[in-house]
Every structure is written in structure tokens, then in C-alpha cells.
Chains A and B, each alone.
Chain A
Amino acid sequence: MQSNESNQPSNQMELTVARLLNIGLIVSTVVIVLGGALLIGEQGSTPIDFKSLHGEPLTLASVPTIVAAALTFDARAVIQIGLLLLVATPIARVTLSLILFLKRADYLYVGITGAVLTILIFAVSGNH
């Protein structure tokens, strides 16, 4: 690497973020595979119509109810956990970036990253 001094820590930062993204992707994929296997094991031979897909019942659209159902090994809820983990991965990336910008005392970007994080939290948790 021919990077100069100012580039060195930023490269480190990128490697840390890359690692986080990979872990998030792998963990959520594994959970979705488990949920899918559970679903096929339980109801694999149940008939289904493509046009009957009308989304999740709203009981499975909030985090606490999904977690509660997943703990009873409800297949759909386990899949939803995996999907939520996938959505959480970029949000975790922004959070990690906030910490890394803070460590580098790049306060302008601490502010920008904080604003992005606020928007994300509002998008995920707010009532729209």
C-alpha cells in the first residue's frame, strides 16, 4: 500500500465497515435459510396460489411481535427476523461510521452521519 499517513486510518475505517457488512449479510442469510427450511419442513406440501400473496398479517409487522413469534419457532417469524437483520445491516454501518468519524475527530461528518442515522431511525420506527 502506498497510502500516505492521512490515508492510513481511513483505510482501516473502510476495512472495519466492510467486515461489518459481511457479517450482517452472512448472519441474516443464515437466519432466512433456517426460516425457509422450517417453513418447508412444516408446510412444504401445503398448496399455495401466487395471486394469494397479500403480505404479512399486521401481527407480524412489528419487531416485538415478530421476535415473540420467532421464539416459538414460527417459520414466517424466523424469516422476518432474517429480513429485519438485513435491513439493520446498513443502519449498523451508519452507526459504526458515526463512531469512526468521532474517533477521527471529523466533527463535520459526525454531524452528517448523525443526521443520516436520525432519518433512518425515523424511517424504521416512526408512524407514517
Chain B
Amino acid sequence: MTISFFFAVLFFCCVAAGLVGALTGLGGGVILVPVLVLAFGCDIHYAAGASLISVIATSSGAAAAYLRDGYSNMRVAMFLELATTCGAMVGAYLSGRLNSNVISVLFGLILIYSAFSAYFKKDDVSHATVRDKLSQILKLEGSYPGDGGKLIAYYAGRVAPGFALMFVAGAISGLLGIGSGAMKVLAMDQIMGLPLKVSTTTSNLMIGVTAAASSGIYFKRGSIDALLAAPVVLGVVAGSIAGARILPRLKTAVLRKIFALILLVVAVEMIIKGFGGKL
């Protein structure tokens, strides 16, 4: 196999991964890393490194669009980034200490979680939260354009547990090379009671900074391979742009459920791989 052919095959696989990631709302990394590991036989450390960079790219692109539309909350993002960047460094550090098999098993477990969260994803419901003191001090509030352009005001509650979960989300992102957007959304939407639209778009903004913190460590370790990362990044970006274009015309609920089932199979594969195929 030549380098040109390798680039072409990898590029098209990553277009598909980026497309599915955008359509299901799970992001590229969750699909990308198993594809690189299971289909291409790539070491999970390098797969995670390439994935992290592509996660920064898709996050930057999507975050720019959401900021323009006035959905993301910059203060909420910045405050919670304190937790995600610290977590990301711990995760990236751990990834250098753990061997590929352990990381594979952990990845499988996170995939199972992702599959369930994709399958049971709910529509926007407002959570009644009591505004705590920390939320007032930190001005974790805002308003976003609802249906018809009317601004809807909101505020955050339960800041401390949300912050703690963000640390975990950051660590998983750094360890596995994924954006861990699902867990970030969980922290903001379910725990802190922020509107789903605000949670998902603010999560997108945070993913880039989180991944930047851990990829610094991957770079230093030499785990980011240019040969692998170039087609991966370009493919995922192309795929997610295409995904964002066709998203409004699709019934994503059905798509998400089918995808969740596929994800479960992939999760089992990753776990089996982690045990050296001896399950």
C-alpha cells in the first residue's frame, strides 16, 4: 500500500466518521478512534492523538457558528474550562502511563455509555433548579434566542457538582482522545439545569480548549503522527461540514437509535480487543 492510497482510504473513512458524528450529535472522536484501532490496526495512543486534533477542528468550526447565533454562554464555558483543562491534563498524563489494552477497555465502557445516552436522548425540557450562591457570584446566567427570536433568560444551579463532573469529562477526553461532549452536556443540562440548546452549544465551545490542553501533552510525547493526523483532520472536518448541511433535513431520532445499537457492537469489540481477543 502506498502513502497516496493510505491517505485516500483514511480520508474517506474519516469523512464518514465526521458525517455520522455530526448527524448523531456524538462528535467525530467516538467513531473515529474505534475505526482507526479496529479497522486500521492503529495503536490507540496514536488514534487518540489524531482524534484529539480533529476534535479541536470540528469544535472550532461549530462553536463559531453557535456563538454567532447567540446560543453559547462564554462565562459558563470559561468557568467550567477550569475543570475540563485540569482534567484533560490528568487524562493525557494517564494515557502515557496506561498500556493500549487498558485504554481499549475503558474506551469500550465509555462507548456503552455513549450508546445509551444517544438512544435515550431527550428533547429540550426545562429543569427547575434553585439558583445557588456560587451561580450568583459567578454570574452564570444569560439569555438565548428561542422560537421566533424571543430571548429566553436562564441561570445555572448546582454549580459545584457540575464543576466536578466537568473535571471527569476533561480527564476522559484527554485519556481517550474524544471530545466527551455527551458528558459535558450531561453536567450542564441535567445537573446545572441549563437549557439543552445552551448546554450543547456551550459544550462545543469547551471541547476545543479541553482537547488543546491534552494535545499539548500528546505532542510532547510524539503521539501525534503527521501522516495519520493529516488525512484524519481533513476528513473529519469535511464530513462534519457536510453533516451540518444535511442535518436539518433528516429524521435524526431514528438515525440516533440505529447508531446507538452499532455503537454497542463496537464497544464490545473494543473491550474484546483490550483483553487481547481472549474473551
Are A and B bound to each other?
A: yes
Residue contact B208 to A93, C-beta cutoff 8 Å: yes
Stretch in contact with the other chain, from B58-66, B104-112, B114-122: B58-66
> Which of chain B's residues has its CB closest to A121's CB?
B216
CB of B71 to closest CB in A, whole Å:
9
CA distance A75 to B225 in the complex (A): 12
Residues of chain B in range 36-55 having any CB-CB distance to chain A below 8 Å: 40-43, 45-46, 49, 53
Specify which chain B residues have a CB less than 8 angstroms from the CB of A72 in the assembled complex: none
Contact of A36 among B2, B222, B234 (CB under 8 A): B234
A57 at the interface (CB under 8 A from B): yes
**A79 near B65: Cβ-Cβ < 8 Å:** no
In the complex, which residues 86-128 of chain A have their Cβ closer than 8 Å to any Cβ of chain B? Answer: 86-91, 93-94, 97, 108-109, 112-113, 115-116, 119-120, 122-125, 127-128
Query: A83–B233 contact, CB under 8 A?
Result: yes
Does B78 lie within 8 Å of A109, measured CB to CB?
Answer: yes
B101 touches A (CB below 8 Å): no
B1–A47 contact, CB under 8 A? yes
Residues of chain A contacted by B93 (CB below 8 angstroms):
128
Q: Using Cβ atoms and an 8 Å threshold, which residues of chain A touch B219?
A: 61, 84, 87, 124
- Residue contact A15 to B67, C-beta cutoff 8 Å: yes
Q: Nearest chain-B residue to A24 (Cβ)?
A: B60
A45 near B4: Cβ-Cβ < 8 Å: yes
Given contacts A18-B65, A123-B89, contact A83 B53 (CB under 8 A): yes
B261 interface residue per 8 A CB criterion = no
A3, B151: Cβ atoms under 8 Å? yes
Which residues from chain A contact B89 at a C-beta distance below 8 Å? 119, 122-123, 128
B64 touches A18 (CB 8 A): yes
By the criterion CB–CB under 8 Å, are A55 and B212 in contact?
no
Check if A97 sits within 8 Å of B228, measured CB to CB.
Answer: no
A115 surroundings in chain B (CB, below 8 A): 82
With beta carbons under 8 angstroms apart, the residue of B6, B139, B229 that contacts A48 is B6
B217 touches A (CB below 8 Å): yes
Q: In the complex, how many angstroms separate the beta carbon of B177 from the nearest chain A beta carbon? A: 13
Whether A35 touches B64, Cβ cut-off 8 Å, given contacts A90-B212, A128-B217, is: no
Select one of A35, A46, A120 contacting B230, CB under 8 A.
A35
Task: Kindly identify which residue among B6, B78, B229, B231 contacts A50, using a CB–CB cutoff of 8 Å.
Answer: B6
Q: Which residues of B contact A (CB under 8 A)?
A: 1-4, 6-7, 40-43, 45-46, 49, 53, 56-57, 59-61, 63-65, 67-68, 70, 72, 74-75, 78-79, 81-82, 85-86, 88-89, 92-93, 96, 137-139, 143, 149-151, 208-209, 211-217, 219-231, 233-234, 237
A-side interface residues toward B, CB under 8 Å? Answer: 2-3, 7, 10-11, 13-15, 17-19, 21-22, 24-25, 28-29, 32-33, 35-36, 39-40, 43-51, 53-58, 60-62, 75-77, 79-80, 82-84, 86-91, 93-94, 97, 108-109, 112-113, 115-116, 119-120, 122-125, 127-128
Name 15 interchain pairs, CB-CB below 8 A, sorted by A.
A11-B70, A14-B72, A21-B67, A22-B64, A29-B234, A48-B1, A54-B225, A56-B224, A79-B229, A80-B226, A89-B208, A112-B138, A115-B82, A116-B209, A119-B89
Beyond known contacts A21-B208, A48-B227, A56-B226: 15 more, CB 8 A cutoff: A18-B63, A18-B64, A25-B57, A25-B61, A44-B4, A45-B2, A49-B1, A50-B6, A50-B40, A61-B222, A83-B53, A93-B209, A112-B82, A123-B214, A128-B93
